[in-house]
Structure 1
């Protein structure tokens, strides 16, 4: 996930370097202008830096007191279903604290990953994690699903904490129904037949794009669109692009069939390999003009390649093309393969129906 890292002090700026190394290309460092370091952007006032970048990134990491972080983000919070992940580190790097959007936003996963990389202690306080339970909203984040309605998340998780059994159902009409069943079984969760849902009174979790019958204690997990942005060299064959897409999906724990659309620059609209891949996967293929991709680059503060800019006039293709379909959360940042670059973005919305 694209992550902004903020640091106020000299010690914090030095730790930000280590965080940046742990996160790789997906991290952008922001440090106080009083403690500038190579490779980091600087700010005069933290509040203004947070305001500018809060909606640009999937995750925010603050290397400072938790109270400062809370006051900085408070004006921009909407809900646990929309806010970015927020993680806080003390400037000695002893503790990594999952502060906000632990499940849906992925802050708990980010906390564990950073703690492991830094040799720190992860601090996770969400009740289901503390009790070692599989929370449906955390499961949703792992499998590219969007939980709704909001009230049902609390109802189902509360039932779990009371020791109640939760019934899981997978709509057989879902394109990835076998995959979802396998993943639920792998986590020790029993899947019931969808037709039984009206006979059950216990709390329910239903994976479906179409079921809408709401009732108390019924949580829907909606499949999200997975947008693939693709860059490639001239003449790249179909096999190379397919291999890159398959490996990219595998890196986020998904099958290639989860990809719902492909996007690239108009400079690649004559690439036979891209058209053949789209035809084989039976997915729509979009080509975006430079001005569209440039707006996305500026909106999200995407990193640009000088070489790519000199070649086609813009400095980022795959990430910008993945986000151009309507924004979303970066599932996989720019990843290089032989002759191909791929980025993946999860997007909530109606266009999942394209692949159904």
Structure 2
């Protein structure tokens, strides 16, 4: 999860360094130019820095008063299905507050992870989390599913809190149907027979399916599978066995099987690598190549980090991340550039727009 960390004061900037260290290479620190620290980017006005970076990052962490953070992000908010995760920390790192997009955006999980690293207390106010329930939109975030329609999220979460029974259905034609079933069983959910999907108005249902012909109705929430796209870079002549092994290990970092990878992408400088074609054929997925103009557009759009070495070789400073994002058109980078034997991989969930 690409994360922008914002700090206003000297104490905040110092804590920001710890936050970035805890989150790893996918985090970037932005500090007031009045309190420069090594490795950070500087801003004159917080509002301008947030305006520029709000659409570029999957999560924003503010080390400052919650009121300042709320007023700063307010003009850019759209919906819980589109907004990035937003967290707030106090300067002493006593509390990590999940402020926005707790489930779909992953703010609750990020708050817990960061609190554990900093020795802080996570502050989670989402009702289902407070009561110890795993909500449908929370499990969706973990499994790469998109919940829709928006109004049914609140309806089913409220029903869950009231102790009402919710039936889960998995369309067997889904690419990862068996994986979804194992995960849901592992979390204690009871699965119903998809073939007997009832249409009674009173039945509360969560339906995992790509089939948009199943009618919408009150009490029925759909979890739509997203496409996981792998951006891949490799050494010349790399065999498919190495590429498949890298993809398997990359997916496993997200708790996903290799079959979750739905597409591959790379630079045109690799469009003669037989190992890439063999891997795509063996997995039965599409493979796309992008020129430097397309990759550079992604680098600028998402403010991706660049490598001088990669630029000397290919003419562009970032390959696997930018290629995956180019293939997704609109995506969320869930695994930044990761090195494996002879192969580098980045993983992107292709975003689905909310239903109108």
Please report the TM-score for the alignment, with normalisation by the length of structure 2.
0.97
Show the counterpart of 1:304: 306
CA apart distance, 1:138: 0.4
Instruction: Give the distance between the partners of 1:75 and 1:177, measured in 2 at CA.
Output: 39
For 1:165, what is the secondary structure of its paired residue?
Answer: coil
Aligned length in residues: 350
Show the counterpart of 2:347: 344
CA apart distance, 1:331: 1.3
Show the counterpart of 1:205: 206
Show the counterpart of 2:173: 173
Deviating beyond 2 angstroms after TM superposition, the runs of 4 or more aligned structure 1 residues are: 199-202
Instruction: Give the distance between the partners of 1:142 and 1:223, measured in 2 at CA.
Output: 11
| Contact residue 225 and residue 349 of structure 1 kept, 8 A | no
Q: Residues 1-20 of structure 1: matches in 2 within 5 Å? A: 1-20=1-20
| Contact residue 311 and residue 318 of structure 2 kept, 8 A | yes
Show the counterpart of 2:134: 134
| Contact residue 330 and residue 351 of structure 2 kept, 8 A | no
Instruction: Give the distance between the partners of 1:69 and 1:63, measured in 2 at CA.
Output: 9
* Deviation string, structure 1 residues 296-353 (Cα, Å, up to 9, x no partner): 0011000001110111111110100110021211111111111111010111349xxx
CA apart distance, 1:237: 1.1
Show the counterpart of 2:47: 47
Show the counterpart of 2:26: 26
Show the counterpart of 2:244: 242
Asked whether 1:68 is paired with 2:68, we answer: yes
After superposing the two structures, state which structure 1 stretch, 218-227 or 326-335, moved more: 326-335
CA apart distance, 1:197: 2.1
Runs of 5+ consecutive residues of structure 2 not aligned to the other structure:
none
Instruction: Give the distance between the partners of 2:130 and 2:156, measured in 1 at CA.
Output: 16
CA apart distance, 1:278: 0.5
| Contact residue 13 and residue 31 of structure 1 kept, 8 A | yes
Q: Residues 1-356 of structure 1: matches in 2 within 5 Å? A: 1-198=1-198, 201-211=202-212, 212-325=214-327, 326-349=329-352
Instruction: Give the distance between the partners of 2:109 and 2:279, measured in 1 at CA.
Output: 32
For 1:253, what is the secondary structure of its paired residue?
Answer: coil
Please report the TM-score for the alignment, with normalisation by the length of structure 1.
0.97
Q: Compared with structure 1, are the counterparts of its residues 299 and 199 closer, same or farther at alpha carbon in structure 2 (3 Å cutoff)?
A: closer
Show the counterpart of 1:354: none
CA apart distance, 1:199: 5.3
CA RMSD of aligned residues (A): 1.0
Runs of 5+ consecutive residues of structure 1 not aligned to the other structure:
351-356
